[in-house]
Structure 1
Amino acid sequence: MAATWNSTPLEVLYQVLGWTAFVTWSVSFYPQVILNFRRKSVVGLNFDFVVLNLTKHSSYLIYNCVLYFSRAVQEQYYNKYGHGQIIPVAANDVAFSIHAVLLTAITLLQIAIYDRGTQKISRISIVIVVAVWSAAAVCFFVALPHNSWLWLISVFNTIQVIMTLIKYIPQAVMNFARKSTDGFSIGNILLDFVGGMANYAQMAVQSVDQGSWVNFYGNIGKTLLSFISIFFDLLFMLQHYILYPSKKTEPIPEKATGKDNQEQMKKSADEAQTDIV
C-alpha cells in the first residue's frame, strides 16, 4: 500500500510550493517569447539553447507522465524503493512539462520566422539531438522484452539532466563572446531561479513529512534539474547585472540641442536670403 501524508499542513504546503514552482517556471518562458515578438528578431538568443531545451523538456515530459499515470511503472517504483514511499512526481510536474514543451516549440517557431541575423543552429547541437533520440530508441527495445519500464523512464530522466547541463552552455558562452546579454531575457532567468528554489523546498517538505530522503535520490533527475538550473541562473544574473550590464543611451544635453537649433535657424535664414537675391 502506498504511503499517505502524516501532516495535513505539510501536505498543503507541498501543494502550494509545487504549484508555485509550476507558475514561476511556466511564466519564465514568456519574457523571451514576448521579447522576440516585440523585436521581430531572435538575434541574441542562442538557437542551440532552444533546440537542446526542446529535447530536454520532451524527455522530462515522458518521465513525468509515465510515472504519474502508469500503475505498472508505479508498482515497479514501489518494488524498488518500498511501498511506504510517495511517488515523487506531482500533478504540477506533469503540467509544467506539457507547458514547457509547448512554449519551447513556439520559441523554435519564432526562430524560423523572425530575423536571425547571421545566427544558426550548430551542427554539434543537431548531432547531439539525433544521438540522444537514437539512444532512447535503442533503450526502448532493450526494455521491451523484460518490461523494464521504470528503468526506461529513468533513462529519459537522465537525458533531461544531461540536456539541462549542456543546454545553458551555448548561451553562457555566447554572452561571454558578445560581452552582452541583449536579446536574452533576464526575466526568464529570475523566474526560473524562483521555480528552482520552490522545487527544492517542495521536495524537502515531503522528506520531512515522510521522515525519508528517498524522494531526492528516487527522483534524482528532479533534484539535479533544480541544482543545475539554479547554478546557471546565478551565472546569467552575474553576466547581466555585473559583467555585461546594458548600456543606457545618454540624453542629448539641452545646451547642445539649443546650439543645434540656432545653427539650423541661421542656415534657414541664409537660404532665404539667397532665394531673395
Structure 2
Amino acid sequence: MASWNSNPLHVTYELLGWFAFISWSISFYPQVILNFRRKSVVGLNFDFVLLNLTKHSSYLIFNASLYFSSAIQKQYFDKYGYQEMIPVAANDVAFSIHAVLLTAITLFQIVIYERGSQKVSKISIGIVFVAWLTAAICFFIALSDHSWLWLLSIFNSIQVAMTIVKYIPQVIMNFLRKSTDGFSIGNILLDFSGA
C-alpha cells in the first residue's frame, strides 16, 4: 500500500479530514435540537430529509465497503495501482455512520412531532425509488463477476446525485413560504464549512 511522501501533506490531510468530520457531524444537531424544542417539524422539508437519508446511506455503503473490504481494496489497487492510497479514511466512515443515524433521528422526529399538512412528495419518492432500484439492479450485475469496485462507483454516483438535488425542495419551500422558520440555518453553515 502506498504511503505519504510528505509528512506536512499527511498532517494537513488528517486535520482537514477531521475538521470536515466535526463540521459535518455537528451540522445535524441544530435541526434536531430545533425540532425538539419546538416539538414541531413544520418548515423542515420532508423531501430534503428523505433525499439526505439516501445520500448518506449510499455514502456509508461506499466508505465502509472501501475502507473495510480487502477484496474491494484489491480491486482498487488493481485498477489504479498499488502506489495509490485508498481514498477513504476512518473519519469518512465515522461521519457516514453518524450521518445516517442523525438523519434517521430526524425522520423519527417527523413521525412523532407536529408536521402540519406537510408530506413527502411523489417526485422525491420516485427519485429515491429509482436510486435504490438502480443500486439493486447493479448489485445483481456486480454479483456475477464480483465487480464490487464498479458497484461502489454506482453508490458514489447516487451519493453525488443526492447531494446535488437534496436542498432543492427546501429552497423551494422556503421561497414559497417566504420564511426559513422551522429550518435551521446552522445546518447549512456547518455543512458549507465542512465542504
Question: Per the shorter chain, which TM-score range?
Answer: over 0.9
Cross-structure match for 2:167: 168
The letter of the residue matching 2:184 is S
Counterparts of 1:13 and 1:167 in 2: how far apart (Å)? 30
Cross-structure match for 1:85: 84
1:53 aligns with 2:48: no
Q: Counterpart of 1:131 in 2: which secondary structure?
A: helix
1:7 aligns with 2:27: no
Cross-structure match for 1:252: none
Over alpha carbons, which structure has the higher Rg? Answer: 1
Q: How many residues align?
A: 195
Counterparts of 2:10 and 2:120 in 1: how far apart (Å)? 44
How far residue 80 of structure 1 moved from its aligned partner, in angstroms, is: 1.3
Cross-structure match for 1:75: 74
The letter of the residue matching 2:62 is Y
How far residue 86 of structure 1 moved from its aligned partner, in angstroms, is: 0.8
How far residue 134 of structure 1 moved from its aligned partner, in angstroms, is: 1.4
How far residue 145 of structure 1 moved from its aligned partner, in angstroms, is: 1.1
Q: Counterpart of 2:21 in 1: which secondary structure?
A: helix
Structure 2: runs of 5 or more not aligned: none
Cross-structure match for 1:32: 31
How far residue 96 of structure 1 moved from its aligned partner, in angstroms, is: 0.3
Cross-structure match for 1:111: 110
Counterparts of 2:154 and 2:129 in 1: how far apart (Å)? 16
The letter of the residue matching 1:40 is K
The letter of the residue matching 1:87 is I
How far residue 125 of structure 1 moved from its aligned partner, in angstroms, is: 1.3
Please give the TM-score of this superposition, normalised by the length of structure 1. 0.69
Structure 1: runs of 5 or more not aligned: 197-277
How far residue 83 of structure 1 moved from its aligned partner, in angstroms, is: 1.3
Cross-structure match for 1:181: 180
Please give the TM-score of this superposition, normalised by the length of structure 2. 0.98
The letter of the residue matching 1:131 is V
1:102-130 Cα shifts (integer Å, max 9, x gaps): 00000000000100011111111112212
More deviation in 168-177 or 100-109? Answer: 168-177
- Correspondence 1:1-277 to 2 at 5 A: 2-196=1-195
The letter of the residue matching 1:73 is I
1:14-72 Cα shifts (integer Å, max 9, x gaps): 11111110001000000000000000010110000001110110000000000011111
More deviation in 73-82 or 140-149? Answer: 73-82
How far residue 9 of structure 1 moved from its aligned partner, in angstroms, is: 2.3
More deviation in 129-138 or 97-106? Answer: 129-138
Q: Where does structure 1 differ by over 4 angstroms across 4 or more consecutive aligned residues?
A: none
1:188-218 Cα shifts (integer Å, max 9, x gaps): 111111100xxxxxxxxxxxxxxxxxxxxxx
- In percent, how many aligned pairs have the same letter? 73
Q: Counterpart of 1:182 in 2: which secondary structure?
A: coil
Counterparts of 2:43 and 2:142 in 1: how far apart (Å)? 41
How far residue 11 of structure 1 moved from its aligned partner, in angstroms, is: 1.3
Q: Counterpart of 1:120 in 2: which secondary structure?
A: coil
